[in-house]
């Protein structure tokens, strides 16, 4: 046998030959290595009481045999079937690998935005810049344009943008659209550090498809949350102006404070929306989040980058809250004020006023625009969003006890002209 030590015996030591060796079979379930040769359980014959006591040579023989067996265990080849079982490392499933890859590929496009405000210390009277909020954003192009929500940067005296490699840059505001809660910032960062996010399409989205939100909730580093589109064509109000935002995406992907302005991605890693709001009394994600669709965002960002403003048409009126009109028992938009230099004032719409006796005289109540019924302020905004500056619209109003149709030429907001 290979590697065994040879021990020579003299013939007169034993009067009888060795008994045939007893064989043992190694089982793979033992998880113990089996020997490449038959192992005898008793290499020496059992000694009877009448047998003479073992000589010193017997001990030497037993020691040599034990050494031979021990050496053979280490130098002999052990069959693979009798080797110790090693559990292989767990592998990720294909859908898990796809999610990991999506996060790794899109994280470099997501940035962290810090909103700083100037405040004066009450005791020292020193002027300090203190953080008043934070949010997320993403790289739009290689020119250094960053897209986020307007409410993330509102009221800021200074803005800081932190890229994925933790480098921080001062940011300046290129422009913003309060009505749609979108803003564009600019940073002077090297082009090799800017990774624009892939732009997708939101017109063909379906309820139930998977979505992924990346952001910096609660000031943490990049965080990924997953979910599905739980609703389409929702409507929310702008956090700045209260103007309705149409066709909003509803998702159950967790969107917490700090996720605002971050991207909502589809399974291919393309941008389909900007995470902007949650529906939650506590302020934390409760499974109902909203994202502005990318089709709306693209047009706004294009105008902000090119002109620094969004040219959106207005009627130039102030109207009463919907609840007040409902109490009057009528359906439509009640005109409270129509400045003479505005589109509605120039066209002759009548505002609400008081007579010489202090009695309230209701103004015109807008019931339709271009033949589309108007029942509240949201309807009016929705119709105007489909119009352009300089376009003439036909406004139908209820004046007194009769209806009139008045042509109005739409104009941009005064602060955007």
Q: What is the CATH number of the domain that holds 247?
A: 2.40.10.10
Per-residue model confidence (pLDDT) at position 120 = 58
Q: Do 301 and 343 belong together in one domain?
A: no
Active site residue 402: no
Asked whether residue 113 is domain-assigned, the answer is: yes
Q: Do 156 and 187 belong together in one domain?
A: yes
Report how many domains make up the chain: 4
Asked whether residue 90 is domain-assigned, the answer is: no
Q: Do 221 and 160 belong together in one domain?
A: no
- 302: helix, coil or strand? helix
User: β-pairing, 289-293 with 271-278?
Assistant: antiparallel
Q: In the predicted model, is pLDDT for residue 121 greater than 80?
A: no
Q: In the predicted model, is pLDDT for residue 155 greater than 90?
A: no
Final residue of a domain: which of 281, 307, 333?
Answer: 307
Per-residue model confidence (pLDDT) at position 327 = 83
Per-residue model confidence (pLDDT) at position 289 = 86
Asked whether residue 4 is domain-assigned, the answer is: no
Q: Do 181 and 238 belong together in one domain?
A: no
Q: Do 293 and 320 belong together in one domain?
A: no
CATH of the domain at 318: 2.30.42.10
Asked whether residue 1 is domain-assigned, the answer is: no
Per-residue model confidence (pLDDT) at position 241 = 76
pLDDT tens-digit readout, 52-102: 555 666 666 667 776 766 656 555 555 554 445 556 666 888 888 989 999
**Closest C-alpha among 178, 195, 96, 102 to residue 144:** 195
Asked whether residue 199 is domain-assigned, the answer is: no
Mean residue pLDDT of the chain comes to 78
CA 165 from centre of chain: 18
Q: How many CB atoms lie within 10 A of CB 164?
A: 17
pLDDT band at 257 (very low <50, low <70, confident <90, very high): confident
Q: Do 242 and 284 belong together in one domain?
A: yes
Maximum Cα interatomic distance, the chain, rounded to a whole number of Å: 146
User: Which one is catalytic: 260, 285, 291, 368?
Assistant: 260
Q: Do 332 and 364 belong together in one domain?
A: yes
CB-side neighbour CA atoms (13 Å) of 329? 0
Contact 182, 274 (CB under 8 A): yes
> What pairs with residue 133 in β-bridges?
115
Q: Do 214 and 174 belong together in one domain?
A: no
How far is 379 from 377, CA to CA, in rounded Å? 5
pLDDT tens-digit readout, 387-402: 888 899 999 999 988 8
State how far the alpha carbon of 216 is from the alpha carbons of 102, 111, 164, 188, 224, in Å.
17, 8, 11, 22, 9
pLDDT band at 210 (very low <50, low <70, confident <90, very high): very high
Final residue of a domain: which of 260, 286, 307?
Answer: 307
> What pairs with residue 314 in β-bridges?
411
Per-residue model confidence (pLDDT) at position 117 = 66
pLDDT tens-digit readout, 274-302: 998 765 555 555 668 899 999 989 889 98
Asked whether residue 6 is domain-assigned, the answer is: no
Greater confidence (103 vs 386) lies with 103
Show the domain range for 49: 11-82
CB-side neighbour CA atoms (13 Å) of 207? 7
Q: Do 150 and 218 belong together in one domain?
A: no
Q: Do 303 and 344 belong together in one domain?
A: no
User: Which one is catalytic: 177, 179, 181, 379?
Assistant: 181
User: Which one is catalytic: 72, 109, 151, 222?
Assistant: 151
Of the listed ranges 124-128, 320-324, 366-370, the one predicted with least confidence: 124-128
Q: Do 273 and 365 belong together in one domain?
A: no
Active site residue 260: yes
How far is 37 from 22, CA to CA, in rounded Å? 12
Final residue of a domain: which of 288, 307, 326?
Answer: 307
Q: Do 66 and 150 belong together in one domain?
A: no
Active site residue 186: no
Asked whether residue 131 is domain-assigned, the answer is: yes
Asked whether residue 130 is domain-assigned, the answer is: yes
Q: In the predicted model, is pLDDT for residue 13 greater than 70?
A: no
pLDDT band at 337 (very low <50, low <70, confident <90, very high): very high
């Amino acid at each position: 046998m290979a590697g065994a030590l040879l021990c020579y015996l003299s013939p007169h030591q034993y009067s009888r030959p060795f008994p045939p060796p007893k064989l043992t079979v190694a089982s793979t379930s033992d998880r113990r290595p089996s020997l490449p040769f038959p192992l005898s359980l008793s290499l020496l014959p059992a000694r009877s009481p009448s047998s003479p006591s073992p000589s010193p040579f017997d001990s030497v023989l037993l020691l040599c045999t034990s050494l031979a067996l021990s050496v053979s265990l280490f130098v002999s080849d052990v069959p693979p079937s009798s080797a110790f079982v090693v559990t292989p490392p767990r592998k990720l499933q294909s859908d898990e690998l796809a999610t990991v890859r999506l996060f790794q590929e899109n994280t470099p496009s997501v940035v962290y935005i810090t909103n700083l405000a100037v405040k004066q210390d009450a005791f020292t009277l020193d002027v300090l810049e203190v953080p008043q909020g934070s949010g997320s954003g993403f790289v739009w192009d290689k020119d250094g344009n960053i897209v986020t929500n307007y409410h993330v940067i509102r009221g800021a005296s200074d803005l800081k943008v932190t890229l994925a490699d933790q480098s921080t840059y001062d940011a300046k505001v290129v422009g913003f659209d309060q009505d749609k809660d979108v803003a564009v910032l600019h940073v002077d960062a090297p082009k090799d550090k800017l990774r624009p996010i892939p732009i997708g399409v939101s017109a063909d989205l379906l309820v139930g498809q998977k979505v992924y939100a990346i952001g910096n909730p609660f000031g943490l580093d990049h965080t990924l949350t997953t979910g599905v589109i739980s609703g389409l064509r929702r409507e929310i109000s702008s956090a700045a102006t209260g103007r309705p935002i149409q066709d909003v995406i509803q998702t159950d992907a967790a969107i917490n404070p700090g996720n605002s302005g971050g991207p909502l991605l589809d399974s291919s890693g393309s941008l389909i929306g900007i995470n902007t709001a949650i529906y939650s009394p506590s302020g934390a994600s409760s499974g109902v989040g909203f994202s502005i669709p990318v089709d709306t965002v693209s047009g706004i960002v294009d105008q902000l980058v090119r002109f620094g403003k969004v040219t959106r048409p207005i009627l130039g009126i102030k109207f009463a809250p919907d609840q007040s009109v409902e109490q009057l028992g009528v359906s439509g938009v009640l005109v409270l004020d129509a400045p003479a230099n505005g589109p509605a004032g120039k066209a002759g719409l009548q505002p609400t006023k008081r007579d010489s006796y202090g009695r309230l005289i209701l103004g015109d109540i807008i019931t339709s625009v271009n033949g589309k019924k108007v029942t509240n302020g949201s309807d009016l905004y929705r119709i105007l969003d489909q119009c352009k500056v300089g376009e003439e619209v036909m406004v139908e109003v209820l004046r007194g006890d009769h209806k009139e149709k008045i042509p109005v030429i739409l104009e941009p907001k005064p602060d955007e002209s």
